[in-house]
Amino acid sequence: MVAVQRWYGPDDIPTDLGPTVVTLGNFDGVHRGHREVLTRVVREAAERDALPVAVTFEPHPIAVLYPDRAPAAVMSLEQRLDALESVGIGAVLVIEFTAEFAQQTPEEFVRSTFVEALGATAVVVGKDTRFGVRNSGDVETLRRLGATDGFDVIALDDIGEGVAVGARWSSTQLRAEILAGNVAHAAQILGRPDRVTGTVVHGDHRGRELGYPTANLSQDHEGLVPADGVYAGWLLRLGVDPSDPDR
């Protein structure tokens, strides 16, 4: 798998960038609804001999516009980028979301980002996508701009198989399931088990009293931790075992 190109602002975009197929979103969790859209981006890009690109924001827009209502992130930015890479996205443009950026009109955002910076030949989004100042841009805005600026617009339902009637895969629902400890429901939304990544650190050595080894994750971890409870899971160890360099 080719490593995803990571652009932390328009200045990082190569000047010789060819045609692209672009999508837009926060992609927190990169759940099954996101993957419906992302998979179409990758397929559309292959058919057009273009680069599949995801545009995302950091921090979450709500954290800037309404800090007291900011949701807990399901994924760190690095986890998000890794997950986008696993789907087949070729490049990710991370836009720093600021109060000033939030004042861009839909037209300003689309033309400066999709058209001028990325040279999009197509934009693939979910049908409820909103963008621009006060979320005033929608799919119809994209279609209007695409007709004048030369890109196609493909709008998809991000409702996957197994979703209740009238519901949809969403980061909000995913977050609620994890925080409630409903990891099986969260896994259904994600299409895989939830993951938390961190460094193993020394704890209170309670494993000695319990009769089996335990591992304690640093508080400086990545990923949303579920409610207190006992869960079955898997451990993936990365790096060299300091007690045995050959392992």
pLDDT for 107-147, tens place per residue? 999 999 999 999 999 999 999 999 999 999 999 999 999 99
pLDDT value at residue 20: 99
- Asked if the structure places residue 169 within a domain, the reply is no
| Domain count across the chain | 1
- Asked if the structure places residue 18 within a domain, the reply is yes
Of 69, 65, 82, 66, residue with least CA distance to 29: 82
- Asked if the structure places residue 129 within a domain, the reply is yes
- Give, in order, the Cα–Cα distances in Å from 8 to each of 11, 170, 227: 8, 25, 33
Cβ atoms of residues 106 and 137 within 8 Å: yes
- Asked if the structure places residue 118 within a domain, the reply is yes
pLDDT value at residue 234: 74
- Asked if the structure places residue 217 within a domain, the reply is no
* CATH value at residue 145: 3.40.50.620
Assign 201 a pLDDT band (cuts: 50, 70, 90): confident
- Asked if the structure places residue 45 within a domain, the reply is yes
- List the domain range (segments joined by +) for residue 133: 5-156
Assign 152 a pLDDT band (cuts: 50, 70, 90): very high
Residue for token digits 């969403």?
Answer: 170
Q: What is the pLDDT of residues 154-181, one digit of tens each?
A: 999 755 555 454 457 899 999 999 999 9
pLDDT value at residue 160: 52
- Asked if the structure places residue 137 within a domain, the reply is yes
pLDDT averaged over every residue in the chain: 89
Identify the three-state secondary structure at position 128: coil
- Asked if the structure places residue 36 within a domain, the reply is yes
What span, in angstroms and rounded, lies between the C-alpha atoms of 138 and 150? 17
